[in-house]
Amino acid sequence: MTKKAFLNDEEIQKFLAEDDDLIDSDEDDCAIGELETDLGELSDEENSSEGVSSDEDDIPLNVLLEKSNIITFSKTILRGKNRHMWSTQKARSYRYGQNIVHQVRGPTRLCKNIVDPIQVFRLFITDAIIKEIVEWTNVEISTRSCINSTEAAQRKETNNEEIEALIGMLALTAAMKDNHLTSTELFDPSCSGSKYLSIMTHNRFRFLMSCLRFDDKSVRIHLTADKLAPIRKAWDIFIQKCRENYTPGPYMTIDEQLISFRGRCGFKMYIPNKPSNYGLKVVMMCDSGTKYMVDAKPYLGKGSINSNLPLAENYVKELTKSIYGTNRNVTMDNWFTSVSLAKSLLKEPHKLTLVGTLRSNKREIPPEMKVSKGRKCGTSIFAYDNELTLLSYKPKPNKIIYLLSSCNEIGTVNNTTKKPHMIEFYNSTKGGVDTFDQMCSVMSCARKPTAGQWQHFLVYSIWLI
């Protein structure tokens, strides 16, 4: 116990008075006031450095997400017109091996060390294709020689060397940008020099181009179900070599190419938004990194495919057969993309993911994601269905883009560009076929067909290589 406990009242008052004399009350009050002021300023600075974090505790989550260009709904379930159910929150799920490819993109081991252009060319235009052309071209030459026996030197049978020389000359016209010239101008020394005359004569060139055949005409009549029968065998060999000679990367692109052609053909198409309005439509799959064509399938008209699947889904599954079970991703446009296709590709034996745009009339899209009135530009809405992610993005006042992904991802937005990462990934991988088509058009050996349309396949094969 202290001494103060035994003091009387007078001593206590005297002791307190002595204590007051020992300290300077004004200085202490001033010091305490300054201390309180400093603490108050520091507290304000801390609050200002935290921004509105203290106030944001009372702001709803959907308002905070809208500030980051992501809009959410208070309800957790959205339904499309066909009652397809989507969740507004991503459920936790695990899917191992997705988009993990252990193969190195590039030429296969058998053709990796080949540097000679002629050997590389023969990897695609094989001896089997040359043999088919020589055999059935000679049959056509024999038929025409019996009808007209004049100019026997120009109508003699051909051989492998001459057909290879013809292909080389067509490739030379592409390299020299002479494919638009007529045959008379090609073999005119004053116009094109002697480089084409050193290969063959003008009359021989015209005769071979008119007699080029890839199949037996007598058998073709009985194969009316297959519109590609005149070049089916050569086409299948060529596409098979395209698959065998290259190992694709992890990201593929499926799209259509319109080959300019105005001759007679039963499946010629008119597509107004293509550079060449008329031509032959070929659906193909390319590596989005190197733009290499891995597989292709021509569109032969309505009713040409006997399958219970929708036409677009059938094309995707046929073109991706060579990469089944490899965990690769396929990017495609809205003609191919559908919710049923995305779910189907995730299963065995496909094991592929899909990223593609969706048409606005798809019944799986919830009406809430289609509302444009009152919605700011640059905002995104995400919905989830297990591995599927559906995006509704508004880039312009009167435009909404719908994107579907089966990569089991959470919807996020790039803070720099303010665009969803799904949009950026789609833009980086969608141009495989378009770039391939552009590279083909830069060096084209396409010519106007002289007689019949099937010799156009030979020109197209050189064009692709």
Contact 267, 298 (CB under 8 A): yes
pLDDT tens sequence across 293-330: 999 999 888 767 777 888 999 999 999 999 998 989 99
Contact 338, 323 (CB under 8 A): no
Q: What is the pLDDT of residue 162?
A: 93
HSE-CB at 408 with a 13 A cutoff on CA atoms is 16
Q: Which residue has the higher pLDDT, 180 or 79?
A: 79
Tell me the backbone φ, ψ of residue 300, rounded to 5 degrees.
Answer: -105, 15
Q: Is 317 helix (H, G, I), strand (E, B) or coil?
A: helix
The enclosing H or E element of 53 equals helix 53-56
Nearest to 341 by CA among 304, 307, 308, 316: 316
Extended beta strands in 322-387, E state: 329-332, 353-358, 380-385
* pLDDT band at 61; cut points 50, 70, 90: very low
Least confident of 40-44, 410-414, 456-460: 40-44
Handedness of CA 134, 139, 140, 143 (dihedral sign): positive
pLDDT tens sequence across 378-436: 999 999 998 999 999 999 988 999 999 999 888 899 988 889 999 999 999 999 999 99
**CA–CA separation, 297 and 283 (whole Å):** 5
* pLDDT band at 232; cut points 50, 70, 90: confident
pLDDT tens sequence across 216-228: 877 766 556 778 8
Q: Please determine, for residue 462, whether its predicted confidence score (pLDDT) is greater than 60.
A: no
The mean predicted confidence, pLDDT, of the chain is 79
* pTM listed for this prediction: 0.78
Q: What is the pLDDT of residue 217?
A: 77
Tell me the backbone φ, ψ of residue 401, rounded to 5 degrees.
Answer: -105, 135
Q: To the nearest whole percent, how much of the chain has pLDDT over 70?
A: 77
* pLDDT band at 11; cut points 50, 70, 90: low
pLDDT tens sequence across 112-152: 888 888 898 899 999 999 999 999 999 988 888 766 655 66
User: Distance of CA 127 to CAs 198, 205, 242, 263, Å?
Assistant: 24, 21, 15, 28
Q: Which residue has the higher pLDDT, 20 or 185?
A: 185
pLDDT tens sequence across 198-208: 999 999 999 99
Q: What is the pLDDT of residue 398?
A: 87
Extended beta strands in 224-326, E state: 246-247, 251-260, 269-270, 278-287, 293-298
Q: Please determine, for residue 6, whether its predicted confidence score (pLDDT) is greater than 90.
A: no
Q: Region 448-458: what's the mean pLDDT? A: 48
Q: What is the pLDDT of residue 230?
A: 83
Contact 279, 265 (CB under 8 A): no
Q: Which residue has the higher pLDDT, 227 or 67?
A: 227
Cis peptide before 349 (omega within 30 of 0): yes
Q: List CB contacts of 182: < 8 A, sequence separation 6 or more.
A: none
- Max mean pLDDT among 19-28, 86-95, 329-338 falls in 329-338
Q: Please determine, for residue 47, whether its predicted confidence score (pLDDT) is greater than 80.
A: no
Q: What is the pLDDT of residue 175?
A: 87
Q: Is 394 helix (H, G, I), strand (E, B) or coil?
A: strand
